[in-house]
Chain A
Amino acid sequence: MSGKLFVSGDEAVALAVRQAKPHVIAAYPITPQTIVVERLSDFVEDGSLESQYLYVESEHSAMCACLGASAIGARAFTATSSQGLLYMVEGLHYASGSRFPIVMMNANRSLAAPWSIYNDQRDSLSELECGWIQLYAENAQEAYDTILQAYRIAEDPAVMLPVMVNLDGFVLTHTYELIQMAEQEKVDAYIPYRNFCNKLDLEKPKATCITAGPPYNMEFRYQQHQATLRAAETIRAADREFNEHFGRSYGGLLETYRCEDADAVLVTLGSVAGTARCVVDAYREAGKKVGLLKIRCMRPFPAEETAAALKGAKAVGVLEKDVSFGFEGVVHTNVNSALKEWNVTVPTANYVGGLGGRSISKADIAGIFDGLLSGSLNASETAFVNLRRDICGA
C-alpha cells in the first residue's frame, strides 16, 4: 500500500491509522470527522485492518473504551470534533492523568451556541489544559504523517501521554489532495508495537486510576508536567526519525518560513498557514521582509523556539481561530508569555479570524502584514478579521 493517492484529509487520517494498526478503535461519528470512522469501519469490515472496532453510543463512551484498551496495553485510536470533544472531556483528563498513550484525531469545528458545523479551533484550544499533546496539521500529507508520528510520540516510554492530532474541519478534512503513502514495512519499523511500561498485568495485578490525596496528588501532577515538557524532545526526535524513514519533516514543534531578517512575522497554526505562505512569498517578491511562524505543537508549547524565532522581528501578529472571551486569543497569550519568559521585547498584535467557518483570504493576511509593517500597531485591542461591522454594532 504505497504510492500516491488523491484523497481528503479525513481519508488520509484513516489510511494512516490503518497502517498504525491500532488494536482497538472506538469512535462516534460527528461532522466533519465522519469520513475517518466510516473508512476505518470499512477497513475492519473488509479485513484490511485487524482491529476491534467498537460502535459506541457517545464520545464519552468512545474515550472510556480507549481508556480501558490502553490500560491493558492495547494501541487505541479515536476521532471526534467540536461538541464530541467537549462530551469526552472527563475522559481526556483520565487519559492524560493515567498516562495512557491514546491517539485521537480531532476535526477542528466551532462550538455551539450558535450551532455551527464549520471550522474554527475553539474546540481543541479550549482543551489546552487537559494534559494531551496537541499537534496541528497544515495539509493532508502532514495529517497523514502526523498520525504516524503521534504513535511514536505517545508510546515513547519517556512520554506515555495521549496525543490529539488536529485538522481544520472541511478546509482540510473535506479537501482532496495528493498524498504520498508510506510503505507498510517502513511504518512497522517506525512505530513498532511494544508493551506499554504501565499496562495492567494479570500476573502482577494493579489497581488503576487510584485515589491520590494531598500527600501524593501534587507529585503525580508534577510527574505529568515533567513528562509533557520532556515530550518536546520526543516530538523533535519523532520528526527527525520520520524524515530518515520517509523523507519528510515538519520542523518538530514549529516551522519558520522565511523568518530570517523578517521585519514582520505572522504566527498561526493549522491550514491557514498554507494561505499565509502564499502571501509571504508575494511580499518577499515585492521586497517586503515578512515571515511566517507555524506552530505545530500547542502542548507542550515551544516557548524557547518561539522566542528565538521572533527575536529579530520588529512586529509580530498572531492570527488564530479562537478567542478567550473577555481577554484575547489564547495563542496570543501563549506567544506573549514565551516572549516575556525569554526576555524578547517585540510588539505583538492579536488577530482573531475564521470563527465559525468565516473565510480568511490572502487579502486579509496581506492586511495584517501591512499593519505590522506600518509600525503603528494597536497592541491593546484584539482585532476581529473580516468582521461584518455593519450588522454587529462594531
Chain B
Amino acid sequence: MTEIRWHGRGGLGAFTAARLLGAAVSLHEGKYALAFPSFGPERRGAPVFAYTRIDSKPITDRSEVVECDCAVVLDDTLFGDPVKSGLKPGATVIINTTKQAKDFPVDGVQVVTVDATGLALEILGRPITNVPLLGALAAATGITAVQSIEAAIDDQLAPKIREKNKILLNKTYQLVKEAL
C-alpha cells in the first residue's frame, strides 16, 4: 500500500489533488484508491491535510494514515514537524517553494522542491498548485503516470480549465524529471 499525505491550507486545493491522484490510479491504472480530507470543518487559510491511499487490491483499511510514502507540501510555510513526522524510511517530500531542497532538511528522505506557484501563475495566471504538484509527484516517485493524471483532469475538472492544466502538468513533470 502506498500512502500520500497532502499538506495545504484551506482553499489551496490539497484535497482536489488527493482526489485527482485517486481518480488517476483507480480509473486509469486499474488500481484501487481512497482519497479523503482531514475530516471536519475547514477554515480558509488554516492548515489542512488530505490523504490518498493506493493499492493493487481493494482497500478496506479505514483508519487514519500513520506513516506515508510521500508528503506533498502546497505552501512552504507549512514545513515543520507535521511534515517531518510520520514518514516511512525512504519517503519523498515534495515542497512547493522557490527555495532549494537543502533548505528543508529531513533525515532519511528524498526532498524535492519545485516552484509550482511560479509555474501556475505563468500558465494558468492563477496560483493553483495542485496539478503541477501532481506532475512533480509523478516525476519524483512514479506513483502514477502523467497520462493517468491527464485522464483524471479530463474526468474531474471543469472543461475550460482542462487544457491549460494539462500543459502545466507536463511542464512541471519535465522540469522535475530533468532536475532529479
In the bound complex, residues from chain B placing their C-beta under 8 Å from that of A272 are 62
- Is the pair A275, B39 in contact by a Cβ cutoff of 8 Å? no
- Is the pair B27, A170 in contact by a Cβ cutoff of 8 Å? no
Residue B74, interface by CB 8 Å = no
In the bound complex, residues from chain A placing their C-beta under 8 Å from that of B62 are 168, 171-172, 175, 271-272, 274-275
- Is the pair A6, B60 in contact by a Cβ cutoff of 8 Å? no
A364 CB, min distance to chain B CBs, angstroms: 8
- Is the pair B41, A117 in contact by a Cβ cutoff of 8 Å? yes
In the bound complex, residues from chain B placing their C-beta under 8 Å from that of A119 are 39
- Is the pair B36, A175 in contact by a Cβ cutoff of 8 Å? yes
Residue A158, interface by CB 8 Å = no
Name the contact of B32 in the complex, choosing from A172, A178, A360, A361 (C-beta under 8 A).
A178
- Is the pair B19, A176 in contact by a Cβ cutoff of 8 Å? yes
A33 CB, min distance to chain B CBs, angstroms: 14
Cα-based distance from A69 to B64 in the complex (angstroms): 41
Cα-based distance from A117 to B66 in the complex (angstroms): 23
- Is the pair A6, B63 in contact by a Cβ cutoff of 8 Å? no
- Is the pair B33, A275 in contact by a Cβ cutoff of 8 Å? no
Cα-based distance from A170 to B37 in the complex (angstroms): 9
Residue B169, interface by CB 8 Å = no
Residue A174, interface by CB 8 Å = yes
Cα-based distance from A202 to B41 in the complex (angstroms): 49
- Is the pair A6, B19 in contact by a Cβ cutoff of 8 Å? yes
Residue A204, interface by CB 8 Å = no
In the bound complex, residues from chain B placing their C-beta under 8 Å from that of A99 are none
Residue A278, interface by CB 8 Å = yes
How many B residues, CB 8 Å from partner?
23
In the bound complex, residues from chain B placing their C-beta under 8 Å from that of A4 are 26-27
Residue A362, interface by CB 8 Å = yes
- Identify whether the interface residues of B are mostly helix, strand, loop, or mixed: mixed
Cα-based distance from A170 to B51 in the complex (angstroms): 13
In the bound complex, residues from chain A placing their C-beta under 8 Å from that of B120 are none
Residue B107, interface by CB 8 Å = no
- Classify chain A: how many residues form its interface, as a range: 20 to 34
A109 CB, min distance to chain B CBs, angstroms: 11
- Is the pair B36, A174 in contact by a Cβ cutoff of 8 Å? yes
- Is the pair A362, B61 in contact by a Cβ cutoff of 8 Å? yes
Name the contact of A6 in the complex, choosing from B26, B39, B59, B64 (C-beta under 8 A).
B26
Which residue from chain B places its CB closest to the CB of A4 in the assembled complex? B27
- Is the pair B34, A360 in contact by a Cβ cutoff of 8 Å? no
Cα-based distance from A270 to B92 in the complex (angstroms): 34
- Is the pair A177, B63 in contact by a Cβ cutoff of 8 Å? no
Name the contact of A175 in the complex, choosing from B23, B35, B41, B156 (C-beta under 8 A).
B35
Cα-based distance from A176 to B23 in the complex (angstroms): 9
In the bound complex, residues from chain B placing their C-beta under 8 Å from that of A5 are 27
Cα-based distance from A361 to B61 in the complex (angstroms): 9
- Is the pair A359, B63 in contact by a Cβ cutoff of 8 Å? yes
Cα-based distance from A357 to B62 in the complex (angstroms): 12
In the bound complex, residues from chain A placing their C-beta under 8 Å from that of B22 are 6, 176-177
Residue A277, interface by CB 8 Å = yes
A186 CB, min distance to chain B CBs, angstroms: 22
Cα-based distance from A172 to B39 in the complex (angstroms): 11
- Is the pair B61, A170 in contact by a Cβ cutoff of 8 Å? no
Cα-based distance from A277 to B61 in the complex (angstroms): 8
- Is the pair B60, A176 in contact by a Cβ cutoff of 8 Å? no
- Is the pair B37, A278 in contact by a Cβ cutoff of 8 Å? no
In the bound complex, residues from chain A placing their C-beta under 8 Å from that of B59 are 177
Residue B40, interface by CB 8 Å = yes
Cα-based distance from A275 to B63 in the complex (angstroms): 6
A18 CB, min distance to chain B CBs, angstroms: 19
The answer to whether A6 and B33 touch (CB under 8 A), given A117-B40, A178-B26, A361-B66, is yes
- Is the pair B40, A275 in contact by a Cβ cutoff of 8 Å? no
Cα-based distance from A362 to B66 in the complex (angstroms): 10
For residues 149 through 175 of chain A, which have their beta carbon under 8 Å from a beta carbon of chain B?
Answer: 168, 170-172, 174-175
Cα-based distance from A139 to B66 in the complex (angstroms): 21
In the bound complex, residues from chain B placing their C-beta under 8 Å from that of A175 are 34-36, 62
In the bound complex, residues from chain A placing their C-beta under 8 Å from that of B155 are 6
Residue A77, interface by CB 8 Å = no
Q: Which 8 A-B pairs have the closest CB atoms?
A: A274-B60, A170-B39, A6-B23, A175-B36, A176-B35, A178-B26, A359-B64, A277-B60
20 contacts between A and B (CB under 8 A): A4-B26, A6-B23, A6-B27, A6-B35, A6-B155, A32-B39, A139-B60, A168-B62, A171-B36, A171-B39, A172-B62, A174-B37, A175-B35, A176-B33, A271-B62, A274-B60, A274-B62, A275-B61, A278-B60, A362-B61
Binding site for B on A (CB under 8 A): 4-6, 31-32, 117-119, 138-139, 168, 170-172, 174-178, 271-275, 277-278, 357, 359-362
Binding site for A on B (CB under 8 A): 19, 22-23, 26-27, 32-37, 39-41, 59-64, 66, 155-156
